[in-house]
A and B are shown apart, each in its own frame.
Chain A
Amino acid sequence: AQSVTQLGSHVSVSEGALVLLRCNYSSSVPPYLFWYVQYPNQGLQLLLKYTSAATLVKGINGFEAEFKKSETSFHLTKPSAHMSDAAEYFCAVREFLEKLVFGKGMKLTVNP
């Protein structure tokens, strides 16, 4: 079965600092990988996805992620954090058809 691991549950950065959220996956087939963001009291929305095209994927709000098969990783980055980036971030891998398996999530705090 496919799975994703997001180590830790909270990360705190200063405004303007680099954001790095780690995700490692396990998949027996070439994976489809996703990052979703959840703002307080809202549903999840897609930030970006990897579906076997370019390994560096750009998403909304200045986020990007790089697929590294050798490291089974799909880490999310943003060069400069903004206060509005404070949210919870979920990595997910497709298990089969449309079914996704989500990580536990990482809560990002941005300090002024």
Chain B
Amino acid sequence: DAGVIQSPRHEVTEMGQEVTLRCKPISGHNSLFWYRQTMMRGLELLIYFNNNVPIDDSGMPEDRFSAKMPNASFSTLKIQPSEPRDSAVYFCASSLSAGGLYEQYFGPGTRLTVT
């Protein structure tokens, strides 16, 4: 089992550029989560999908952020335009949905630096 796969692992971009982060969940999992981790704010849930449908996007900071899940095996998180305050580690996680009984499996993260 390859686990949750994220790409790229590192991204350095200039302010104003579009950034796309990608995630492949574990096969068979039907819940997918995007988190952001910073020193100041800790680990924040940005958005949560179940069966490819967004369930809770209340953590998405602003309209510059968007997330899609076109099918069960792929999701993207896009930032357009990017700003220096978006610099963080972004994690994707997946799980089986059963009312929270099952653990979330985290990917290795994408470290984003916006200069």
Give the one of A32, A41, A42, A43 with max B CB within 10 A. A43
B104 at the interface (CB under 8 A from A): yes
Q: Within the complex, what minimum Cβ distance (angstroms) separates B53 from chain A?
A: 12
Count of chain B residues with a beta carbon within 8 Å of a chain A beta carbon = 24
Contact B106 A44 (CB under 8 A): yes
Contact B48 A104 (CB under 8 A): no
In the complex formed, the residue of B with least CB distance to A105 is: B42
In the complex formed, the residue of B with least CB distance to A104 is: B42
Contact B43 A32 (CB under 8 A): no
Give the one of B43, B93, B103, B104 with max A CB within 10 A. B43
Query: Given that A97-B55, A105-B43 are contacting pairs, would A32 and B106 also be in contact in the complex, using a CB cutoff of 8 Å?
Result: no
Q: Report A30-44 residues with CB < 8 Å from chain B CB.
A: 32, 34, 41-44
Instruction: Give CA–CA (A98, B109) in the complex, Å.
Output: 20
In the complex, which residues of chain B have a beta carbon less than 8 angstroms from the beta carbon of A90? 43
A49 at the interface (CB under 8 A from B): yes
Residue positions of A touching B, CB distance < 8 A: 32, 34, 41-46, 49, 51, 90, 94, 97-105
